Chains A and B, each alone.
Chain A
Amino acid sequence: MKTDFNHYLLDIPEETWAYEELAIDGGRAVLPREGRKTTFPNITKEDVLQMLISIQKQPEEVIQEFTDQYRQYVGANYAISTASGTSSLHLALIGAGIEPGDEVILPAFTFIATAQAVVAAKGIPIFADVDPQTYCLDVTQIEKLITPRTKVIMPVHVHGLPANIEAIQQICNQYQLKLVEDASHAHSASINGQLCGSLGDTAGQSLMADKNFPVGGEGGIAFFKKEEDYQRALNFLQDSGIDYDISWIAAAFGISQLERLPYYDAIRQRNAQHLIRTLNQTTLFQGPYIPEGYKHSFNMFRLQINVNLPAFAGIPPYQVKEAIQTILMEEGVFAREWQNVPIPRHLPFINQKGFGNQYPFSLYQEDELPYGLEHFPNTLEMLNTTLAICRELRSPVEYEKLLSYELAFKKLDQNIEKIATFARTLNVQPPYERDARLG
Chain B
Amino acid sequence: MSLAKISEQAPQKVSQKDYFSISFVLARVLNTGIIMSIEKNEKELKGLESTLSKLSGKKYVTLYNSFTAAIHGALWGQDIVHGSQATLAHSAAPQERKFAQWLGIELIEGLDQAYTVIDIDWQNLKDIDTLLKQHSQDKAIVVNFTGLSFGPVATLLTNEEPLYKKSERLKIFGAFDLRTMWTQTEQEFEIQPGVQFNYRLSPLVGACVKLSLLRRDKQDED
Contact of B66 among A80, A83, A220, A341 (CB under 8 A): A83
Q: Is B218 an interface residue (CB 8 A)?
A: no
Nearest Cβ on chain A to B200's Cβ, whole angstroms: 5
Nearest chain-A residue to B18 (Cβ)? A55
Nearest chain-B residue to A361 (Cβ)? B194
Contact B68 A242 (CB under 8 A): yes
How far apart sit A59 and B32, CA to CA, in the bound complex (Å)? 25
How far apart sit A177 and B89, CA to CA, in the bound complex (Å)? 43
Interface string of A329-362 (1 = CB under 8 A from B): 0000000000111000011100111111101000
Contact B6 A80 (CB under 8 A): yes
Contact A347 B184 (CB under 8 A): yes
Nearest Cβ on chain A to B30's Cβ, whole angstroms: 5
Task: Specify which chain B residues have a CB less than 8 angstroms from the CB of A234 in the assembled complex.
Answer: 4, 6
Contact B3 A209 (CB under 8 A): no
Contact A347 B23 (CB under 8 A): no
How far apart sit A262 and B69, CA to CA, in the bound complex (Å)? 34
User: How many chain-A residues does the 8 Å CB contact rule pick out?
Assistant: 78
Task: Specify which chain A residues have a CB less than 8 angstroms from the CB of B12 in the assembled complex.
Answer: 59
Q: Is B83 an interface residue (CB 8 A)?
A: yes
* Most chain A CB atoms below 10 A, which of B99, B149, B197: B197
Nearest chain-B residue to A248 (Cβ)? B151
Task: Specify which chain B residues have a CB less than 8 angstroms from the CB of A41 in the assembled complex.
Answer: 33, 35
Q: Is B219 an interface residue (CB 8 A)?
A: no
Q: A85-B198, A346-B184, A356-B81 are in contact. Are A39 and B33 (CB under 8 A)?
A: yes
Nearest Cβ on chain B to A156's Cβ, whole angstroms: 16
Contact B19 A55 (CB under 8 A): yes
Contact A3 B7 (CB under 8 A): no
User: How many chain-B residues does the 8 Å CB contact rule pick out?
Assistant: 80
Q: A244-B6, A249-B150, A347-B193 are in contact. Are A218 and B200 (CB under 8 A)?
A: yes
Nearest Cβ on chain B to A96's Cβ, whole angstroms: 17
Task: Specify which chain A residues have a CB less than 8 angstroms from the CB of B185 in the assembled complex.
Answer: 347, 435
How far apart sit A340 and B185, CA to CA, in the bound complex (Å)? 13
A-B pairs with beta carbons under 8 A, tally: 244
Q: Is A240 an interface residue (CB 8 A)?
A: yes
Q: Is A87 an interface residue (CB 8 A)?
A: yes
- What secondary structure prevails in chain B residues at the interface with A? loop
Q: Is B205 an interface residue (CB 8 A)?
A: yes
Contact A112 B196 (CB under 8 A): yes
Contact A356 B198 (CB under 8 A): no
Task: Specify which chain B residues have a CB less than 8 angstroms from the CB of A359 in the assembled complex.
Answer: 82-83, 104
Residues in A lying within 8 Å of B, measured CB to CB:
1-4, 39, 41, 43, 47-48, 51-52, 55-56, 58-61, 64, 67-68, 78, 80, 82-87, 90, 112-113, 116, 119-120, 208-210, 214, 216-220, 234, 237-250, 253, 339-341, 346-348, 351-357, 359, 434-438
Known interface pairs A64-B1, A218-B37, A243-B9; 16 further A-B residue pairs with C-beta atoms within 8 A, sorted by A's residue number: A43-B35, A51-B27, A60-B10, A83-B66, A87-B198, A112-B181, A119-B195, A216-B35, A234-B6, A241-B95, A241-B99, A243-B146, A340-B182, A353-B194, A355-B194, A436-B178
Question: Could you pull out 27 A-B pairs where Cβ atoms are within 8 angstroms?
Answer: A1-B31, A2-B32, A4-B31, A43-B33, A48-B30, A51-B27, A51-B30, A56-B19, A60-B5, A60-B10, A64-B1, A84-B199, A85-B198, A209-B37, A218-B200, A240-B98, A240-B102, A241-B97, A243-B67, A245-B66, A246-B151, A253-B204, A346-B184, A347-B184, A352-B194, A356-B83, A436-B179
